[in-house]
A and B are shown apart, each in its own frame.
Chain A
Amino acid sequence: MTLSEIAAGKSVKLLEVCGGKGICSRINRMGMTTDSLIKVVRNDGKGPVIVEQDGCRIVLGRGVASRMNVSYA
């Protein structure tokens, strides 16, 4: 499943990012790499998703979140 499907309050583990080098690099450098834990703070079912990573809040466009394959930690 993808990060865009995860409800707020749940924590997941990042498996992989489907996309080119550019987007992978943008996601990686925010601290979200393979196996890292991501907590979903906000997901309204439309619009961007807010996640928490190492104490930082990061907003991800819905398109970005739907390219991130995750599993429950």
Chain B
Amino acid sequence: MHNVAIVGQPNSGKSTVFNILTGLNQTVGNWPGVTVEKKEGRAKLLSSEVNVIDLPGVYGLTPLTPDEAVTRSYLMNERVDLVINVLDGTAMERSLFLSIQLLFMKLPAIFFVNMSDVVRSKNISINTERLSELLGERVIFGSGRTGEGIEELKTEAEKILVSGVTPRERLNIETESAVFRKINSISGILDTEKSLARLQSFYSLKLVEEDEEVERIVRKALGDKRMSAIRDIISQPDGKKLEAAGWLYSISRGIGGEVVVKGRLSHISVTEQLDNILLSRFLSLPIFFASFFLIFLITFSIGGRINALLEILLHYASVLVQKTVSLKFLSDFLTTGIIGGVGSVLTLIPYIFIMFFLLQILEDTGYMARIAFVMDRYMHKLGLHGKSFIPVIMGFGCSVPAVLAARTLETRSDRLKTILLIPFIPCSSRLTVIILLGGAVFGSSAPLFIFILFMISIAAAALSGAVFGKLFFREKSEGLIMELPDYKAPNLKHLLLNSYFKVEDFLKKAGTLIFIISVIVFIASYFPLGNRGGAIDYAGHFLSPLFRPLGFDVEMTVSLITGFFAKESVVSTLSVLYGAESLPSYISNHWSMETGFVFLLFMMIYIPCIATAVVIKQETKSWKFLSGLVIYSIILAYGISFLLRSLLSIFI
């Protein structure tokens, strides 16, 4: 089957083109070796079916982040039968910066000038015929959102794939510039080596840009001697110093200037009007906090309602099992182990789905990027910049995708500093625990205490960021550079699809784990000596003296051990170990307010759950970083809890 790669800049509407081509026929996986999301799907052309790959968005072909590296390495090393380059029709000059670099790869390509609907509404006209002449490739004007041009795209794609167009020998861009002369002379040297011949133009371009990875590839193939000849060409003085990126942009501007005519706009754009309000000096912060508050409100009110229904179902399932299964152990195993385990996974799903649905609305409308602007000033106090705030926000949903989102940051130290904060952000799993247990412990004043817990946790994140940022990372953050995309109405199908994939991902990564742990906890609490004499009790008794100063009993200690596997299982463990008919009523009778408060605080801070730990290791590729973070978080949790416990015992 043919491989078709979709390449485009961030915010070019690449995903809408991918979605309309593949429909629901897509899968989300990971690229081998890295945790970058890999979106793949099948698309039906006129008669044949093709494999479509949605490559991560890139501004150009010089990667700075792991995502961008995936795109380039795919284009360089994999079999690509056709590239569909999606261009933002409202920002042609910038879009062409990528397109021209793609021409250097000499892959069969179609250029899809996207967002025709927005282009017209902005009174812009694009001469696609002339553009096609200048690029020497097929150009199609259309929109992934309205479907315009998609049939034509499919027809052209099939034509190329069936006839097997041989890549052109010559690039249409020939200029008299010094950069181009250098590229040509280097290309002549690379031509002698077979393994470099296919991408010789592209490699030559990147060599002029002093791209380290390409230099390594070429040095390996040609040896040091010929490499130094290339170095000589690169370092030739060329009068006016013009960086290669500048040269590429001057070509993009030249083409853009020739094919794009921007008409006068009679009114101020919607984006401008909205920005005047949403980013205004006095309203920006209140609006941000209000939208954030709204997200929590909706997530937990709707999620809570759905969960109430789920719990009724689970209750009936338990009753049914108890009625039909007479063997005590088996019945306990099925109700507490299996139904309890499935239940703790199920009850998380509504929260995760709704939370990601709402966060995706922020993303798709374009508001998420504005949050980076609003928070930039404050994030600098933590040695970070505004863009880091986006992964942090995701952390309120689940730490796992939040850690993954950190890879959109351009420097490694920014990525590490951001990952450092995320485990301390109260995720929805921890929130359900504090809402459930907090409700039992604090009664009617629960909202206040939950809010305080929440704030202490966020303060812990900020403190850790500030301290570690200064201690371990000498280099200051380079700062925020980020596009503010035009505001647009979110697409319901895209929102649902995306949230669905997030839940599916969660189920794969954490769901099975939570379920297995519930079963193991049940078995370990039963064996070897029957109920309350299990292996897990030994572990609890062994560790218990450590936690006695904090006022935790053996059961609480055990639940903290299982909480490492998934914070949500703190609740299910407690309910198994206390063996109470209703956990909330047991807790409200047996826990004091201060014990409950300190316990919940400890639970929130003490350790990233195992799924988070795994992705932190994957992303940072450093055991040292992960173990340091784990040890630090335990010490921090213990310290804060101990301090609070002592303070509370003085005042109460």
Contacts and interface: CB of A to CB of B under 8 A. Distances in A.
B479 interface: yes
Interface stretch (B58-66, B135-143, B198-206): B58-66
Main secondary structure of the interface of A (DSSP, over half): mixed
A8 B372 CA distance: 20
Interface string B235-259: 0000000110110011001001000
Interface string A46-58: 1110100111111
A34 B377 contact: no
Contacts of A35: 246
B249 A59 contact: no
Contacts, number: 114
B386 interface: yes
Chain A: number of interface residues, binned into ranges: 20 to 34
A22 B480 contact: no
Contacts of A61: 376, 380, 385-386, 479-481
Interface string A4-47: 00000000000000010111111111110111100000101011
B243 A60 contact: no
Nearest to B244: A28
Contact of A50 (B91, B377, B479, B484): B484
A17 to B, nearest CB: 10
A59 B478 contact: no
A30 B372 contact: no
B246 A28 contact: yes
Given A58-B481, A60-B479, A31 B249 contact: yes
Given A22-B478, A48-B373, A28 B249 contact: yes
Q: Find the residue from A53, A59, A63 having the highest chain B CB count within 10 A.
A: A59
A33 B91 contact: no
Contact of A29 (B245, B271, B369): B245
A7 B380 CA distance: 22
Contacts of B60: 29
Contacts of A19: 478
B483 interface: yes
A64 interface: yes
Q: Find the residue from B242, B281, B476, B480 having the highest chain A CB count within 10 A.
A: B480
A49 to B, nearest CB: 10
B432 interface: no
Contacts of A47: 373, 376-377
Interface string B472-488: 00001111111110100
Contact of A59 (B59, B122, B376): B376
B126 to A, nearest CB: 12
B281 A56 contact: no
B270 to A, nearest CB: 13
Interchain residue pairs A-B with the least CB separation, the first 9: A61-B479, A61-B480, A57-B484, A64-B479, A28-B245, A29-B59, A63-B479, A33-B246, A31-B94
Interface of B: 59-60, 62, 64, 90-94, 97, 122, 210, 242-243, 245-246, 249-250, 253, 256, 262, 271, 275, 279, 281, 369, 372-373, 376-377, 380, 385-386, 410-411, 476-484, 486
Given A26-B481, A57-B271, 12 more contacts: A22-B411, A28-B249, A29-B59, A30-B481, A31-B94, A50-B484, A54-B93, A56-B91, A58-B481, A59-B372, A61-B479, A64-B481
16 contacts: A22-B478, A26-B64, A28-B249, A29-B62, A34-B242, A34-B246, A35-B246, A44-B281, A48-B373, A50-B484, A54-B93, A55-B91, A56-B94, A57-B486, A59-B480, A61-B385
